[in-house]
C-alpha cells in the first residue's frame, strides 16, 4: 500500500499533480504575519522535515526570533500536490516546515537544536507510529552558514546517538535550491492553534545536541 511506502516513487510512478498552486490567503494564525514571500530582507529561511508537520511547525513558531512559519510539501516529484496525494506515497514529498527567522535574534544553531532534538532522525521513512516516505527527516538550507552547521550538527549528533545505541542518521541534508516548497492546504497551517488537542506525534530520542 503506497500510503505506508518505505521507498520513494520512481518518476514513472509519481502522480501528475497540477500547475495551479495552493491559494494562501490567510496570515499566520499566531503572529498574523504573511506566510508568503517576499519576507523582510534581514530574514533568513531554512526548511525542516521532522515527521507530521502539525507538531513540527508548533515547535518552531514558539521560538523567539522566528518571524513566520508555514507547512508544505517538498523534496518530491509531483508539482502542487494535495495532502491526499502526498499520503498515497506517490508524490515523493516530505511534510516540511518553512521557517523564516531573524539571525540577529535566534541563531541557526539554535534552530538546528530544535530540529535534531524534537524527532528521531534515525528512523528512515517513519516517525514513531507514522510510517511512510512523507514522514522522513529532512533539512534543506538556503545559506552557506546553514549548510556548514547542518553538516556539522548532523555529524556531532550522530556520534552521540551511535554511542547510545541508535542507528545511523537517515536525514536528507542538502540545498533547498531546486526543491520547490508547495504550501499545504489552509487547514494544515498552524493546525495545533486551530485544533489545540490535535494529533502531535514525534519520536524524540531524549538526547541533547552537543554544543559546537
Q: CA 20 to CA 12: how far, in whole Å?
A: 21
Annotated catalytic residue 52:
yes
Nearest to 132 by CA among 82, 89, 170: 89
By the 8 A CB rule, do 76 and 17 touch?
A: no
What CA–CA distance (Å, rounded) separates 59 from 4?
25
C-alpha cell at 75: 523534496
- The answer to whether the beta carbons of residues 53 and 59 sit under 8 Å apart is no
Given the residues 50, 52, 86, 139, select the one marked as catalytic.
52
Per-residue exposure over 52-74, b if at least 16 CB sit within 10 Å of its own CB, e if not: bbbbbbbbbbebeebbbbbbbbb
In angstroms, the CA 210 to CA 55 distance is: 24
* Catalytically annotated residues: 52
Amino acid at each position: 500500500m503506497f500510503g505506508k511506502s518505505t521507498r520513494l516513487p520512481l518518476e514513472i510512478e509519481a502522480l501528475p499533480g497540477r500547475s495551479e498552486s495552493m491559494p494562501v490567503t490567510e496570515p499566520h494564525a499566531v503572529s498574523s504575519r504573511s506566510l508568503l514571500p517576499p519576507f523582510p530582507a534581514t530574514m533568513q529561511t531554512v526548511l525542516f522535515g521532522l515527521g507530521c508537520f502539525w507538531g513540527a511547525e508548533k515547535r518552531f513558531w514558539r521560538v523567539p526570533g522566528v518571524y513566520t512559519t508555514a507547512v508544505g510539501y517538498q523534496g518530491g516529484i509531483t508539482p502542487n500536490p494535495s495532502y491526499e496525494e502526498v499520503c498515497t506515497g506517490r508524490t515523493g514529498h516530505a511534510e516540511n516546515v518553512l521557517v523564516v527567522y531573524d539571525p540577529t535574534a535566534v541563531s541557526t544553531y539554535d534552530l538546528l537544536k530544535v530540529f535534531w532534538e524534537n524527532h528521531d532522525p534515525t528512523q528512515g521513512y517513519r516517525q514513531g507510529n507514522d510510517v511512510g516516505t512523507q514522514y522522513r527527516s529532512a533539512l534543506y538550507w538556503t545559506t552557506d552558514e546553514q549548510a556548514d552547521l547542518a553538516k556539522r550538527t548532523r555529524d556531532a549528533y550522530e556520534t552521540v546517538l551511535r554511542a547510545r545505541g541508535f542507528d545511523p542518521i537517515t536525514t536528507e541534508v542538502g540545498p533547498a535550491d531546486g526543491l520547490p516548497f508547495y504550501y499545504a492546504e489552509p487547514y494544515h497551517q498552524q493546525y495545533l492553534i486551530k485544533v489545540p488537542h490535535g494529533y502531535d506525534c514525534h519520536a524524540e530520542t531524549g538526547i541533547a545536541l552537543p554544543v559546537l
